[in-house]
Structure 1
Amino acid sequence: MKPRSRFIYNENETRYHFHDTHPFNQRRLLLTVDLLRRAAALPPEAIVAPQLATEAELLRVHSAAYIEAVRQLSKPEPDEHWIRLSGRYGLDTEDTPYFPGMHDITSYVVGGSIAAAEQVMSGAAEHALHLAGGLHHALHGKGAGFCVYNDASAAIAHIREKYQARVLYIDTDVHHGDGVQWCFYADPNVCTLSIHETGKYLFPGTGDVTERGEGEAFGTSINMPVEPYTEDESWMDCFAEVLQATVRRFQPDVIVSQHGCDAHASDPLAHVHCSMRIYRDMPRLIRKAALDHCGGRWIALGGGGYDIWRVVPRAWSLLWLVMTDHPLVEQLAADPLLPLPADWLQAWQGASPDPLPGTWLDPVGQWTPIPRRQAIEERNRQVKELALMYLS
C-alpha cells in the first residue's frame, strides 16, 4: 500500500546558498533527513523528487520583469546593467543578495511546492511535505527576507487555477508571512492566517491585527502578532483558538501551512521564547483541522529556522512524525524527554558548534523563567480577542 504522506525532497535543494556566512543555510535539510532516516521514519517510497517550475507557474505570482532580472543576475558574471538594477528588485541587500544559479535553484524550490500541492490535490496522497519551501517573503516584483521566488504563493495559485479550491494558508514562522498575505489580500477564496512576533521589533514590520484583507476578501487575512519573549502556553493558546475559529468561518477545501521554526528560544534572529513543544503541537492541530474539514488535504512547507543544529532538525522531524502519525508521537506523549537516536548525535556532534540536545523535546523545567510572563500573556490575550473579532 502506498504511503498516505509524501516527502518532496532532493539533495539539489541544498544549492539554495547565498554565501558561507549567510544565516540561511540549507544544510538543515540534510540534518533533518538524516535524523528521520535514523529514526526509521522516512521510508524511500514516501520520497518524491521536486521539479523545475515553468515560466507560466512563476508568472502566476511574479512579474515578467522580476523573473528576467532574477535570470540575468543568476549568471556567473552578470552584466553591469543588471547589477545596477539589482536594487530595484531587492536583490542587492545583505539579506537577499543575488548569487550564481539563483533562477534555476529557486525555480526548483517553487516546483517542489507545486509538486507537493499536486500530490494532495490529485488524490495521490493525503498529506505532503516540502521542507525546502516556505519562502514566504518574496513579493510580486521584489525579493526579500532570504526569499527570491515565493513558492508558497505559487503553490496556492496552482491550486486555485487548476482545482478552484478554497485555500487556508497557515503561517507559523516567527516572521510575518507578508508575501503570501499581499499576494492574496483581495482574493476571498484564499484565507491567510499568520502567528508571528509583532512587527514592532522584527522584520518585515507587517502583520498587525488590523490587516484584514480588502474588498470582498475583507476578513480573510488574519494576523496574530505576539509579544517578544512569548512562551509555549501563550503561543499555543493564541494559535489554537484563532485557528479553530478561522477554519469554522472560512470552511477551506485544503490547508497549506508554512513551518518556520524560528520562534524557538535558541533561534538567533527573533525574540520569542518557545520550546520544541510547539513544533509538535501546532502540526497536530493543523492535521486535525485538515482531517475534520478538508478531507485530510494538507500541504506543509518549511520556512525560517536559523539554529540549524539544535532546533531545525528536531522541529521539522516532529512535523513529519505528526503528519505520518508515527508511533514516536505517542511515545513522546508518555515520555517528553525521549532520547534522540544516538547514532544521529554521534554523526553530527563533531560538526556542530554547540552541544546537540539529547532529547526530542526540551527540558523546559530547567529553563530560567521569563520575568514579565504575566504581562506578556495578558497582552497576547488582548490581541487574540482583536484577531477573533470578525471570526465569530
Structure 2
Amino acid sequence: MLWDDRLISYDFGSGHPMNPVRVELTMALARELGVTDRPNVRVTGFEAAGDALLGLVHEEPYIAAVKQAGATGRPDPRHGLGTSDNPVFVGMHDASALVAGASVAAAEAVWTGAAEHAANISGGLHHALSGAASGFCVYNDPAIAIAWLLEQGAERVAYVDIDVHHGDGVQDAFYDDPRVLTISLHETPRTLFPGTGFPNESGGPGAKGTAVNVALPPGTGDRPWLRAFEATVPPLLRRFRPQVLVTQHGADAHALDPLAHLILSVDGQRTAYAALHRLAHETAGGRWIATGGGGYELVQVVPRAWTHLLAEASGAPIPPGTRTPAGWREFVRLRTDETAPQRMTDGTDVVDVQRWGDGYDPASPIDQAVLATRRAVFPEHGLDPMTDE
C-alpha cells in the first residue's frame, strides 16, 4: 500500500468536488478497521515522479507549464490549467508528481515481485492527456505506471477502469499499442463527461480490439452493471492473458455521487473489487495494481468503498455488515461536520446476477450496450460476440 500524508496536498481548493478529505477519511477508516496493521500489509513511502517518468506519457512543454503554473499561481489555458475543473494551485506540480510516483512505485513493487498486489488510492487520475490537464487530473498516473511497465519489458498489460467516467487519457496513451488492453465501463458519453468512450473506439491500426468501451445508460444499478462487467471483462482478460493487471476504482458510479447518474451501491462496488482480484490471480499471475479515481460523495461513499478495496487486496475482505468504528465516526464529524455511515454496507443484495450466457434480451438497454461492445471487439480476440467461444 503506497501512502504518504503529503498526498492530500493534491488539492484544487475549497468548493472543488475533488476534496482530498476523501482519501484522508479512507486511510483513517482503513487504520481503524485494522487493514493497515495486517501482517501481510506494508504501508510504504515513495519518491515523486521525476521529469523522465512523467515524460513517458506527458509532453515536455506541458510538464514545464504545470511547474510554472504551480510556482506562480497563474493559469495556462493552452494546457488546461486554470479552468473550473482544473484550477491552478501553488505546488501543483509537486503534488501531482507525488501521486504519479506512488503509482509507479506500486508498479515497481509488483513487477519486481516485492509485492503481489499494490494499491495507491490517491491515484487513478485517468483523464490527464499528454499535453493538457483534464477532468480534475494533472498527470495521468495509471498511464505513467503502465508506460513504466512497458519500459521494463512487459509485453501485455491490461487496464480495467470502473470509474463512472470514461478512462479517456489512458485509452489515448495506448490506443495504437497492442501491448496494452484498456477496458472502461462507464456512463454513456451521451450524458456525461468526457464525451468519449463509444464502443466503436476500439484501437488504432495494428491494435484493433485493444480499446474496449462499455457505455451504460443512466440509471444502471448493481445487477445490470455486474452483468455488463461479467459479459466483457473476464472473457477478454482470459484471452489477453496480461502479465500485470492495473485497475482504476473510481467510486463515482454510486447512487449518491453528485456528478453522475449510475446507481450502484457500495456492495456492488465491493463485488466488482472481488471479481477483479480473482481475475488478477486467474489471468495475470496475481500481479495487481489498484488505484483510486473519481468519487465525490466524500463521506458516505468513498471511504467505505476504498477501504473495502484495500481489504480485498490484502486478501481478507471486510464483512459488509461490519460497523464503522466509533473513533472514525467522530473523526468524520470533526473533519467535515457530517454524520458518518454506521456500517460498511448499503444493505444491498447483489448475489443474484444474470450472466450473459443465461440469455440475451434485445429489449434491454444494458444488453444492447453490452452487445455493441462485444460486436466491436470480441472478433478481434477470436471470440464470438454471442457466446464467448
Q: Structure 1 length normalisation: TM-score?
A: 0.90
Query: What is the match of residue 252 of structure 1?
Result: 242
Separation in structure 1 between the aligned mates of residue 275 and residue 348 of structure 2, nearest angstrom: 21
SS state at 2:71 partner: coil
Q: CA offset at residue 140 of structure 1?
A: 0.7
Quick one: which of 323, 330, 340 aligns to 1:356? 340
Query: What is the match of residue 46 of structure 1?
Result: 42
Query: What is the match of residue 92 of structure 1?
Result: 82
Q: Does 1:66 align with 2:62?
A: yes
Question: Once the two structures are superposed, what CA deviation does each residue of 1:45-104 show, in whole Å capped at 9, x if it has no partner?
Answer: 6101131111111111011111111111111454xxxx4xx1110112100122111111
Q: Does 1:202 align with 2:192?
A: yes
Separation in structure 2 between the aligned mates of residue 233 and residue 250 of structure 1, nearest angstrom: 26
Quick one: which of 326, 348, 354 aligns to 1:342? 326
Q: CA offset at residue 165 of structure 1?
A: 3.2
SS state at 2:245 partner: strand
Query: What is the match of residue 352 of structure 2?
Result: none
SS state at 1:206 partner: coil
Q: Please show how residues 1-392 of structure 1 align to structure 2 within 5 Å.
A: 7-43=1-37, 46-78=42-74, 83=75, 86-326=76-316, 328=318, 332=319, 336-364=320-348, 378-389=364-375, 390-391=377-378, 392=383
Q: CA offset at residue 376 of structure 1?
A: 12
Contact 1:50 1:109 in 2 (8 A): no
Which deviates more from structure 2 when the two are superposed, residues 93-102 or residues 355-364? 355-364
Contact 1:234 1:377 in 2 (8 A): no
Contact 2:59 2:131 in 1 (8 A): yes
Contact 2:118 2:289 in 1 (8 A): yes
Separation in structure 2 between the aligned mates of residue 158 and residue 254 of structure 1, nearest angstrom: 12
Q: Which residue identity does 2:283 align to in structure 1?
A: H
Query: What is the match of residue 356 of structure 2?
Result: none
Question: Once the two structures are superposed, what CA deviation does each residue of 1:359-391 show, in whole Å capped at 9, x if it has no partner?
Answer: 1110348xxxxxxxxx99910111111212232
Separation in structure 2 between the aligned mates of residue 67 and residue 108 of structure 1, nearest angstrom: 14
Q: Which residue identity does 1:194 align to in structure 2?
A: S
Contact 1:254 1:297 in 2 (8 A): yes
Separation in structure 2 between the aligned mates of residue 14 and residue 132 of structure 1, nearest angstrom: 8
Separation in structure 2 between the aligned mates of residue 102 and residue 159 of structure 1, nearest angstrom: 25
Question: Once the two structures are superposed, what CA deviation does each residue of 1:210-241 show, in whole Å capped at 9, x if it has no partner?
Answer: 11001111000001111111110000110122
**CA pair 77-189 structure 1, distance change in 2 beyond 3 A:** closer
Q: CA offset at residue 293 of structure 1?
A: 1.4
Separation in structure 2 between the aligned mates of residue 224 and residue 119 of structure 1, nearest angstrom: 30
Separation in structure 2 between the aligned mates of residue 92 and residue 350 of structure 1, nearest angstrom: 31
Question: Once the two structures are superposed, what CA deviation does each residue of 1:249-296 show, in whole Å capped at 9, x if it has no partner?
Answer: 211111000010000011111011110112211111111111111110
**CA pair 351-387 structure 1, distance change in 2 beyond 3 A:** same
Unaligned runs of at least 5 residues, structure 2: 350-360, 384-389
**CA pair 266-217 structure 1, distance change in 2 beyond 3 A:** same
Q: How many residues align?
A: 365
**CA pair 47-131 structure 1, distance change in 2 beyond 3 A:** same
Contact 1:258 1:300 in 2 (8 A): yes
**CA pair 316-77 structure 1, distance change in 2 beyond 3 A:** closer
Q: Which residue identity does 1:63 align to in structure 2?
A: E
SS state at 2:119 partner: strand
Q: Which residue identity does 1:273 align to in structure 2?
A: I
Q: Which residue identity does 1:32 align to in structure 2?
A: T
RMSD: 1.7
Unaligned runs of at least 5 residues, structure 1: 1-6, 366-374
Separation in structure 1 between the aligned mates of residue 146 and residue 98 of structure 2, nearest angstrom: 16
Q: Structure 2 length normalisation: TM-score?
A: 0.90
Contact 1:230 1:376 in 2 (8 A): no
Q: CA offset at residue 152 of structure 1?
A: 0.7
Separation in structure 1 between the aligned mates of residue 315 and residue 34 of structure 2, nearest angstrom: 13
**CA pair 327-171 structure 1, distance change in 2 beyond 3 A:** closer
**CA pair 361-61 structure 1, distance change in 2 beyond 3 A:** same
Separation in structure 2 between the aligned mates of residue 53 and residue 346 of structure 1, nearest angstrom: 35
Separation in structure 2 between the aligned mates of residue 244 and residue 177 of structure 1, nearest angstrom: 18
Q: CA offset at residue 354 of structure 1?
A: 4.2
Separation in structure 2 between the aligned mates of residue 196 and residue 153 of structure 1, nearest angstrom: 18
Q: Which residue identity does 2:47 align to in structure 1?
A: Q
SS state at 1:278 partner: helix
